[in-house]
Chains A and B, each alone.
Chain A
Amino acid sequence: DAKTTQPPSMDCAEGRAANLPCNHSTISGNEYVYWYRQIHSQGPQYIIHGLKNNETNEMASLIITEDRKSSTLILPHATLRDTAVYYCIVRGNFGNEKLTFGTGTRLTIIP
């Protein structure tokens, strides 16, 4: 899997949009960008994934740059329950591709 780089921690005010960046400059053409989050002492939760187009679902939006070397996860209206470690992972999308977790970004939502 291609490596990703994320800031170790970020703060965001409650109600504001949280923008979490991820660099993946060595991503290959058939690799997707996945985002998971892990709330303290729980299993990771899938958020969203994309290949090259921007994606949006009920949880978040994913913006991928045109050269695909970086992306941003956007939580439009952060709540206290969004406090978690967010992992950006790059992997292929077929077969039993493994997920390789990096260190992620610890997002703290401030009341």
Chain B
Amino acid sequence: GAVVSQHPSRVICKSGTSVKIECRSLDFQATTMFWYRQFPKQSLMLMATSNEGSKATYEQGVEKDKFLINHASLTLSTLTVTSAHPEDSSFYICSARDPLTGMRNEQYFGPGTRLTVT
């Protein structure tokens, strides 16, 4: 199947700083990528849908000014957590949809990025 990578896999930052997480589709072009957040022992929660060349669509309750999403190319989307606080510590996962898979339409997930804010 298609491969999606994330960088970094783990990051520790101090409260008040910003952190950028990259999501790349390695062997396909993704017009749409999705960003999820997962707290310990909980399920994945969709944060936003990232569309190449246009503004991201955020889910209700997700602050777009705090979680900046940029999808500047067909293989790269970035999530920047601005002014991070300890409550932002979480597992951030991206996924990408390969439009060429036709009716399959499944999403391919990255390995996740564990963010710890101290």
Interface residues of A (CB under 8 A from B): 34, 36, 38, 41-46, 49, 87, 93-94, 96-104
Q: Which of A43, A46, A97, A98 has the most CB of B within 10 A?
A: A43
For the residues of A in contact with B, the DSSP-based class is: loop
> What count of chain B residues pass the 8 Å CB interface test?
27
Q: A96-B51, A99-B95, A101-B43 are in contact. List 9 more A-B contacts (CB 8 A).
A: A41-B112, A43-B112, A44-B44, A44-B93, A46-B107, A46-B108, A46-B109, A94-B105, A104-B43
Contact between chains at B105 and A97 (CB < 8 Å): yes
CA distance A36 to B72 in the complex (A): 28
Give residues 36-56 of B contacting A (CB, 8 Å): 36, 43-46, 49, 51
**Does B61 reach chain A (CB closer than 8 Å)?**
no
Nearest CB of chain B from residue A84's CB, rounded to whole Å:
13
CB-defined contacts of A101 to chain B, threshold 8 Å: 36, 43-46
Contact between chains at A43 and B46 (CB < 8 Å): no
A-B pairs, top 8 by smallest CB distance, nearest first, are: A43-B109, A101-B44, A46-B106, A101-B43, A96-B32, A44-B109, A43-B93, A43-B112
Contact A99/B34 with A43-B93, A93-B105, A94-B105 known, Cβ cut-off 8 Å: yes
CB-defined contacts of A43 to chain B, threshold 8 Å: 4, 6, 93, 95, 109-112
Contact between chains at A102 and B43 (CB < 8 Å): yes
CA distance A44 to B4 in the complex (A): 11
CA distance A56 to B86 in the complex (A): 44
CB-defined contacts of B100 to chain A, threshold 8 Å: none
CB-defined contacts of B34 to chain A, threshold 8 Å: 98-99
Give residues 91-106 of B contacting A (CB, 8 Å): 91, 93, 95, 97, 103-106
CA distance A98 to B91 in the complex (A): 19
CA distance A57 to B30 in the complex (A): 25
CA distance A81 to B14 in the complex (A): 36
Nearest CB of chain B from residue A40's CB, rounded to whole Å:
11
CA distance A43 to B44 in the complex (A): 10
CB-defined contacts of B1 to chain A, threshold 8 Å: 46
In the complex, residue of chain A having the shortest beta-carbon distance to the beta carbon of B46: A98
CA distance A38 to B42 in the complex (A): 12
